[in-house]
Amino acid sequence: MQKRFLGESGLEVSALGLGTMNMTGPYGPPQDPQEMVALLRTAVERGVTFFDTAEGYGPLENEKLLGEAFKDIRDEVVIATKFGFDFDAEAGQGLGGLNSRPEHIRKVTEAMLKRLRTDHIDLLYQHRVDPQVPIEDVAGTVKELIAEGKVRHFGLSEAGVQTIRRAHAVQPVTALQSEYSLWYRGPEAEILPTLEELGIGFVPFSPLGAGFLTGKINLTTELDENDFRNSVPRFAVDVREANLALVDLIREVAERKGATPAQIALGWLLAQKPWIVPIPGTTKLHRLEENLGGADVTFTSGELADIDAAASKLQLAGERMPQSFLDATEA
């Protein structure tokens, strides 16, 4: 597996990471913990060094999986996790409101370290920007945690340009995590130029469009009743036909390149900037191996231009997230 640096931070990771959210939901029921631990260990054997989790995944259970999987190979992996919500998993309550108060960050970081069975977090993200807490206070708190050796790098998720700049002035931001793919190209206008200017890496989540770009979902596909995607507007049956035009385009490119649609979607992202590190998620070994093949897909400048030209003619439909999630995301 090739390696990449996240911006100018010096943090080196595998060119493709692994998103672990769905190991504990929300695209259906949680998976068997021991099977997921085995998959995480296999990913390391295949060359993956970058793993993405969050206290809110599960909640809490996802970090425990990584703690179990990596307890005796901790130095071989880079673990990224996230804070930023109120919730009480023990009381059976899911995610509550945003909370990035300094005292809360400190409290949950200690709990994360215990669940992950480690003495440090490689990359600590603010999961969502909290409008009630100045970003300078958030960055300052993480800066203190870095000085104490409990955290090594600071990240933001779904933050806007001005928040990124303000945070970076207090504590250098190593990476921004936000959605980016052939299906959602919003970051290209302002986010990517800002990251390049400041030397910040970019970690796209949902690089496969939550599975849509793999070509495994069609007009008649019925999702599990507990699947989060049932509430996502762009997955609605009445807009699927419009969005499947993009899948058809990706499939055509895949046939020419001797690859799968998933590999094309990931290879396209890797071709955009050398400091972009996608984190496709999966709970299946054959999908993991397929996704990792995306790191071997290369494009000429002409091929990339052709893809852009063809994609620009498509009329894609539906918001990328439910409105409640979009409300918690900075424009």
pTM: 0.95
Whether 57 is catalytic: yes
Contact indicator for 262, 214 with CB cutoff of 8 Å: yes
pLDDT above 70 covers a percentage of the chain that reads: 97
**pLDDT, tens digit, for every residue of 57-73?**
999 999 999 999 999 99
CA 321/CA 331 separation, integer angstroms: 13
The catalytically annotated residue of 27, 57, 125, 180 is: 57
Contact indicator for 234, 153 with CB cutoff of 8 Å: no
Contact indicator for 127, 85 with CB cutoff of 8 Å: yes
Average pLDDT over residues 197-214: 97
**pLDDT, tens digit, for every residue of 240-249?**
999 999 999 9
**Confidence band (pLDDT; 50, 70, 90) for 89?**
low
- Encoded tokens for 56: 């809110």
Residue ranges making up the domain that contains 278 = 3-327
Q: What is the pLDDT of residue 297?
A: 98
Backbone angles phi, psi at 314, to 5 degrees: -85, 145
Domain count, the chain: 1
Res. 322: pLDDT tops 90: no
Coil, helix or strand for 157? strand
CA 328/CA 331 separation, integer angstroms: 10
The mean-pLDDT minimum among 5-14, 74-83, 218-227 falls in: 218-227
Contact indicator for 113, 150 with CB cutoff of 8 Å: yes
**pLDDT, tens digit, for every residue of 155-187?**
999 999 999 999 999 999 999 999 999 999 999
Instruction: Output 81 or 94, whichever has higher pLDDT.
Output: 81
Please give the DSSP secondary-structure letter assigned to residue 86: E
The enclosing domain of 75 has a CATH number of 3.20.20.100
Helices then strands (H, E): number in the chain? 11, 11
Instruction: Output 277 or 97, whichever has higher pLDDT.
Output: 277
Contact indicator for 310, 48 with CB cutoff of 8 Å: no
**Confidence band (pLDDT; 50, 70, 90) for 93?**
low
Q: What is the pLDDT of residue 90?
A: 53
- Residue 194's identity, in one-letter code, is T
**Confidence band (pLDDT; 50, 70, 90) for 28?**
confident
